[in-house]
Structure 1
Amino acid sequence: MKRTVLILYFLSYYKVTICLRVVGVTVPALKQRGEAATLGCDFDLEGGKLYSVKWYRDNEEFYRFMPRLRPPQHAHKVDGIKVDMDKSSARRVHLKELSLKSRGLYRCEVSKEAPSFHSAQAEAFMEVNYFPRESPRVSGHERPYSPGEPLDVNCSARSFPPAELQWHIDGQKVSERSWLIPYGTQPAASQGLMVSTLGLRAPAHPLMQLSCIALMGTLRRERTVIVEINSSSTKKAFGLTVLTLLGVNIRFYDKIL
């Protein structure tokens, strides 16, 4: 008899402890700085009562929902986290004004009421980027070059994470590695951004158009410059006439896509 009661107890306990499932979390994989994000937590109590829903960013709790309390919501002060309480509930939490510090691993933990207080959890990572609308900065193109003289130009762009930089000459991407000088990345002076820099050391030729392109996912920034080439007075006059007729600025122009 005692054995039967013990078995029934364990079967009953087992049934209680499994009647909670976190089906999954909905966390945006990528957001831009300054945007808002809604995080969802889908759970199934399977007949049980909810004790609490807690949200963590990198193991630091920033929001909880407990039906027994009045009010049921509470937000903790965490760097990079701003909870919009009016748009948050047991199954979702709304974050506003995301910053670069908002990136991290987000975890939803759901607990059931007594007697089991069984809990289940799920997590997902959210990346936060920032890609300023400013064009990459190009330097070294201002001075005149002689035909065949190696260029000495650099391109730099601010972003987070570091953007991919490309050089194009007359519309063609530079793939010759010996012409490219990767300088890596350095922290920017402010805003928590990184500065990527890529040099170009290619032979110069007349009417040379250089484009530096910064890429981050589907976002793109571009700056195009025209390099001045020294040549004979006849060629120089002809070149200036052609450029004037075409209305081309031989110095520099910006383009942001």
Structure 2
Amino acid sequence: MELSQTIIQSIFLLLNLLISRTRGLKLVRLDVPAIADIFSPVTLKCEYNLEDMNLYSVKWYKDGFEFFRYMPDYDPRSQALKSSGITVDLQKSDMNQVTLINLQFNHTGNYKCEVSTEAPDFKTVAQHANMTVMAYPTEDPKVEGVLSTYSLGDYVYANCTSGKSSPPAILTWHINGAKPDTWSWDNRRGWMEKDSQGLYTRTVGLQFQILSSHFTSNGGGLMPKMEIRCTSTIGNSVRHKAVYPTLVRALTSNSLAQKRLTGSAGVLRPPISIALVLVTSFRT
């Protein structure tokens, strides 16, 4: 009987110990965007559980330097430290979040939320995360150099130029949804420029010969259009610009058409004379 009581008491003490360790101040979630756009405000969030304790302060730091604090017993409760070089929107900042405006590239860094309770507990918890400030393009890439009409065998010489960004955007070409051959993607004609604000524009060239296969569907039939698309990618920002040459057929005699459409390898193409009318379409 005494042994049973001893076991019960031991279990009770163990449960109390576990409960005491799980109760108290907890920082539940820190939400710091991995990437922030320099042209837009960004909000950092800090969720915590006080249990039965009283909040003393919530402080935010960048690279170890405090730039915002919330203290419920002070007036005003929300305070921004101007010496930090970070601009805080106090109207949108409180005990659970802080909103940054007028971002700069040097605002890239490590951000920490620190939560403290009042006496007699004096508990403090903190979490931190990195954020990188980028400049997303504010416009779609531009495709230039494409003529209004083509015939089979003609060459397309095009340039794609990204909108201003930092770091430089990655540009990719697609023809009818597929990446062109390496030789078609003329990176040698590409270049990059940087303006006084530290923003980059990148240009990449494309060249290829118009073939009937560009207008052939998977089923072997002719498609009315082909698509030439340039995609600009930086961080979470993806922008497109596409042009759609339209296939217009003019029926001729088989012998004349075959003579005009025979490739250098002697492969015959469909007995038609083809003109391409360019229709541009902007897509984001």
- TM-score, scaled relative to structure 1: 0.64
Question: What displacement does 1:52 show?
Answer: 2.3
* 2:232 corresponds to: 214
* 1:231 corresponds to: none
Residue type matched to 2:114 in 1?
A: E
Residue type matched to 1:93 in 2?
A: V
Aligned 8 A contact 2:157 2:205 in 1: yes
Q: CA-to-partner distance for each residue in 1:65-92, whole Å, 9 max, x for gaps?
A: 234433232212344x331212322222
**Counterparts of 2:53 and 2:193, CA distance in 1:** 51
Residue 208 of structure 2 is aligned to residue 189 of structure 1:
no
Q: CA-to-partner distance for each residue in 1:101-133, whole Å, 9 max, x for gaps?
A: 554432101223356644210123445554434
* 1:85 corresponds to: 90
**Counterparts of 1:219 and 1:201, CA distance in 2:** 23
**Counterparts of 1:189 and 1:225, CA distance in 2:** 32
Aligned 8 A contact 1:33 1:97 in 2: yes
Q: CA-to-partner distance for each residue in 1:219-253, whole Å, 9 max, x for gaps?
A: 32204386xxxxxxx98xx979x56xxxx3x5x74
Which of 224, 230, 244 pairs up with 2:243? Answer: 224
How many residue pairs get aligned? The number is: 224
Residue type matched to 1:167 in 2?
A: W
| Root-mean-square deviation (Å) | 4.2
Q: CA-to-partner distance for each residue in 1:181-230, whole Å, 9 max, x for gaps?
A: 4468846314443333333243455998643232454632204386xxxx
**Counterparts of 2:174 and 2:168, CA distance in 1:** 19
Aligned 8 A contact 1:181 1:200 in 2: yes
Aligned 8 A contact 1:24 1:41 in 2: yes
Seen in structure 2, the aligned counterparts of structure 1 residues 25 and 86 have a Cα distance that, compared at 3 Å, is same
**Counterparts of 1:42 and 1:143, CA distance in 2:** 57
Residue 46 of structure 2 is aligned to residue 37 of structure 1:
no
* 1:256 corresponds to: 283
* 2:77 corresponds to: 72
Q: Secondary structure at the match of 1:221?
A: strand
User: Structure 2: any 5+ residue segments left out of the alignment?
Assistant: 1-19, 215-225, 246-256, 261-271
Q: Looking at CA atoms only, which structure, 1 or 2, has the larger radius of gyration? A: 2
* 2:142 corresponds to: 137
Question: What displacement does 1:175 show?
Answer: 3.8
Aligned 8 A contact 1:106 1:126 in 2: yes
Aligned 8 A contact 2:110 2:130 in 1: yes
Seen in structure 2, the aligned counterparts of structure 1 residues 89 and 210 have a Cα distance that, compared at 3 Å, is closer
- TM-score, scaled relative to structure 2: 0.59
Q: CA-to-partner distance for each residue in 1:135-183, whole Å, 9 max, x for gaps?
A: 32345546999976765543221334443322233x2422422332446
Question: Identity over aligned residues, as a percent?
Answer: 35
* 1:25 corresponds to: 30
Which of 168, 174, 183 pairs up with 1:178? Answer: 183
Which of 103, 108, 112 pairs up with 1:107? Answer: 112
**Counterparts of 1:65 and 1:187, CA distance in 2:** 43
**Counterparts of 1:45 and 1:167, CA distance in 2:** 53
